[in-house]
Structure 1
Amino acid sequence: MASIERLHKTAPLDLAKLEEDVVGSLPAIRAAPSGPMPDYVEHEEGVTRVGALTAEAVVRDYEAAAKEIEAMGAELINAARKCEAMTAEVHNAIAFMRDTAASYREEAKKIFKRIEECAIFTEHVRKTCEAVKLKMIEGKP
């Protein structure tokens, strides 16, 4: 009977304090994030406290995941911008290479033409020298 009397003399059960104690003693359990719920959900009338808390916890986890997905999308957008900038740089480099290659071809054409002109001139000089030599040998003016 004494134990029954003690039960009657104790304070009423504080569910919020009990939840805080349980969550605090189990590090694997995270407390639900505080703050307003996402605006795309609202509690149904008559839902129990357990149902409401569970629904809030689940929707908050989904919302956190959705925000991480959006953040990943923002990172992809930044990566795409970097790729676009790099692609523009590559196009500029390719254009520079094409211009450089065209310049080399023009220079090669000039050098090719100059060498052939020199070869023709040298051949002409050789023939002229040979003709003069033959005239000298034959004694003709």
Structure 2
Amino acid sequence: MASVERLHRTAPLDLAKLEEDVVGNVPAIRVAPSGTMPDYVEHEEGVTRVGALSAEAVVRDYEAAAKEIEAMGAELINAAKRCEAMTAEVHNAIAFMRDTATSYREEAKKIFKRIEECSIFTEQVRKTCESVKLKMIDGKL
């Protein structure tokens, strides 16, 4: 009970003084405490260990995110290259289809001409047969 009474008699806690005492007793950092950091940041002279560690943690998270973004960029470049290759293949396929269509048209033209030649020849044969038949009927043969 006496210790409780003694606590009540002491001065109230000064939080500002406590913070000043804690910060004043934390040593400043002159080198990176946990390995290499990205080369675009550097600790300020006199920064506390807590401040340095916090800043490093944040910059490392940002650096990891930046590397992920760069990796996505590399994946996008690979996707673009695959797309370019596919586009080239499509152009080749289109050229092949055009050549094939042209060949079909040329073949259709040949068949068309051949059928018409056969039709004309058949008509000539029919007329010749008709003429010979009429001559045979008329007895002129």
- Deviation string 1:70-115 (CA, Å, 9 cap, x unpaired) is 0111111111111111111111111111111110110010000000
Note the C-alpha offset of 1:48: 1.8
Note the C-alpha offset of 1:121: 0.6
User: Could you tell me which residue of structure 2 aligns to residue 99 of structure 1?
Assistant: 99
Which structure: larger Rg? 2
Mean Cα displacement is larger for which, 117-126 or 47-56?
A: 47-56
Mean Cα displacement is larger for which, 44-53 or 69-78?
A: 44-53
User: Could you tell me which residue of structure 2 aligns to residue 112 of structure 1?
Assistant: 112
Pair 1:132 & 2:132 matched: yes
**Secondary structure in structure 2 of the residue aligned to 1:44:** coil
User: Could you tell me which residue of structure 2 aligns to residue 123 of structure 1?
Assistant: 123
Q: Hey, what's the Cα distance between the residues in 1 that align with 2:121 and 2:35?
A: 93
**Secondary structure in structure 1 of the residue aligned to 2:40:** coil
Count of equivalent residues: 109
Q: Hey, what's the Cα distance between the residues in 1 that align with 2:114 and 2:90?
A: 36
- Deviation string 1:1-53 (CA, Å, 9 cap, x unpaired) is xxxxxxxxxxxxxx9xxxxxxxxxxxxxxxxxx43111111112222221111
Query: What's the TM-score, normalizing by structure 1?
Result: 0.73
**Structure 1, unaligned runs of 5 or more:** 1-14, 16-33
**Structure 2, unaligned runs of 5 or more:** 1-25, 27-33
User: Could you tell me which residue of structure 2 aligns to residue 62 of structure 1?
Assistant: 62
Q: Runs (4+) of structure 1 moved beyond 4 Å?
A: none
CA RMSD of aligned residues (A): 1.4
Q: Hey, what's the Cα distance between the residues in 2 that align with 1:83 and 1:57?
A: 39
User: Could you tell me which residue of structure 2 aligns to residue 76 of structure 1?
Assistant: 76
What percent of counterpart residues are identical?
90
Q: Hey, what's the Cα distance between the residues in 1 that align with 2:35 and 2:140?
A: 118
Q: Hey, what's the Cα distance between the residues in 1 that align with 2:136 and 2:100?
A: 53
Q: Hey, what's the Cα distance between the residues in 2 that align with 1:132 and 1:51?
A: 119
Query: What's the TM-score, normalizing by structure 2?
Result: 0.73
